[in-house]
Amino acid sequence: MPRQQVIVVTDGDVTAYRGIRAACEELGLTVVKATRGNPTPIRGQRLIDAIMAAGDDAGRPVVAMVDDRGEPGTGAGERDLTTILASDQLQVRGVVAVAANTRGVAGVVPDRSVDKRQRIVRRAVNKGGQAQGTVLRGDTVDVLRKFPEVPVVGLGDPGKMGGSDDASHGSPVTARALRALLNTNGAAASGGEASPRDWSEEGHSHA
């Protein structure tokens, strides 16, 4: 049986869900509604089954959410993220790592980020979607350090960012981040690594 392609977003609260759903509608993707929640409400094989069930006959990627609810340690969301990344039933196209103001976290260095102006940048971003440093800090991202082969795009708070990502306008910043992962070659999910040249950098910035 073919593996289900999935993109994971490390946020699952109500506003994030609305933003992710709006972005998915713009891109013709399906968001796995059962994964919304703060923290993520389902675990283990139930989580994998929900992702598998959301797929369609066309084999398009689905978008799942994981959320630690601000836990600086390894909380429910990071355990769920590990479950997804380690599953042999799924092909992970990449992870949208969402920035937060959580203290006491190591963070992750994203391959690219999308700032609040929808520009792809070679830096991290903060919660407001502003390019800032090289390490993105969030409550559900530290575990990504154990999976360096997985493509990671940094993002501010989905559905927010000072109105730049409002769901009523299709959450264009979140949509840009999802599109960036759709444009990678998917090699990481097949055991290889996605090269930086595989990223779409239309309207990019080296800031």
- Per residue in 143-198, pLDDT tens? 999 999 999 999 999 999 999 999 999 999 999 999 999 987 553 443 444 444 44
Query: pLDDT at position 202, please?
Result: 45
Tens of pLDDT, residue by residue over 21-78, are: 999 999 999 999 999 998 899 999 999 999 999 998 878 999 999 998 766 667 788 9
Q: How many CB atoms lie within 10 A of CB 154?
A: 33
Asked if residue 203 is part of any domain, the answer here is no
Q: Between the CA of residue 37 and those of 28, 47, 77, 199, what are the distances in Å?
A: 22, 13, 10, 30
Asked if residue 205 is part of any domain, the answer here is no
Asked if residue 139 is part of any domain, the answer here is yes
Instruction: Count structural domains, the chain.
Output: 1
Residue 162 phi, psi (nearest 5): 65, 30
Query: pLDDT at position 81, please?
Result: 95
Asked if residue 204 is part of any domain, the answer here is no
Strand-pairing partners, residue 152, are 95
Range of the domain at 89: 4-198
Query: Cβ distance 189 to 198 under 8 Å?
Result: no
Asked if residue 82 is part of any domain, the answer here is yes
Query: Cβ distance 88 to 150 under 8 Å?
Result: no
Q: Span 10-17, mean pLDDT? A: 95
Asked if residue 206 is part of any domain, the answer here is no
Asked if residue 26 is part of any domain, the answer here is yes
Name the strand (E) or helix (H) holding 8.
strand 4-9
Strand-pairing partners, residue 65, are 9
Going by their DSSP bridges, the two strands 152-155 and 112-114 should be labelled as parallel
Report which residue type is found at 96: V
Which residue matches tokens 């409002």?
Answer: 166
Does the pTM exceed 0.85? yes
Q: Between the CA of residue 133 and those of 30, 116, 130, what are the distances in Å?
A: 32, 15, 10
Report which residue type is found at 18: R
Asked if residue 121 is part of any domain, the answer here is yes
Going by their DSSP bridges, the two strands 120-121 and 112-114 should be labelled as antiparallel
Asked whether residue 206 carries a pLDDT value surpassing 50, the answer given is no
Counted residue by residue, the chain has a size of: 207
Query: Cβ distance 144 to 109 under 8 Å?
Result: no
Q: Residue 14, exposed/middle/buried by CB under 10 A (0-12, 13-18, 19+)? A: exposed
Q: Between the CA of residue 14 and those of 11, 25, 27, what are the distances in Å?
A: 9, 16, 20
Half-sphere CA count of 185, side-chain side, radius 13 A:
12
